[in-house]
Amino acid sequence: MRSLIRTLLAPVIWVANKLGTRREVSRDEAQQAEVDQACETLALYQAWSEPDCIQVRREIARLGLTIETRDVRLDPEHTRVLKEEGGKLEVPCLYIHEAQGNERWLYGAQAIIDYLRGRFGE
């Protein structure tokens, strides 16, 4: 039943996602270039219609970030990487490649949002 509801609501969620989020953080060109470069070390493993993933994507848009999204439902390779390297098949998950070469896998919408706000927020 839950799957049917998500399927029926998917178009509504898509429209709300595209129209309902505006960028609220403004940066000058140099600052934005710095942020864009930092975002190259991040990837969001997600599922398009999952409410927690939508919440994270909205925060990404609000903060004006460019983070690669990897949909685990559409690409079996993303599913495999998330499960094998991340340790569990749960979305949303933020992959973080740190400057020292370490990799982190951050699970949970609120944890991801807190991390993004702390690193890129106002």
Cα(106)–Cα(94) distance, rounded to whole angstroms?
5
Condensed to tens digits (0 to 9), the pLDDT of residues 86-120 reads: 999 999 999 999 988 899 999 999 999 999 999 99
pTM recorded for the entire structure: 0.81
Which runs of E-coded beta strand occur in 12-91?
42-46, 68-71
% of the chain surpassing 70 pLDDT: 80
Cα(112)–Cα(122) distance, rounded to whole angstroms?
16
Condensed to tens digits (0 to 9), the pLDDT of residues 46-83 reads: 999 999 999 999 999 999 999 999 999 999 999 999 99
| Superfamily of domain 28-121, CATH level 4 | Glutaredoxin (3.40.30.10)
Please count the other Cβ atoms lying within 10 Å of the Cβ belonging to residue 41: 13
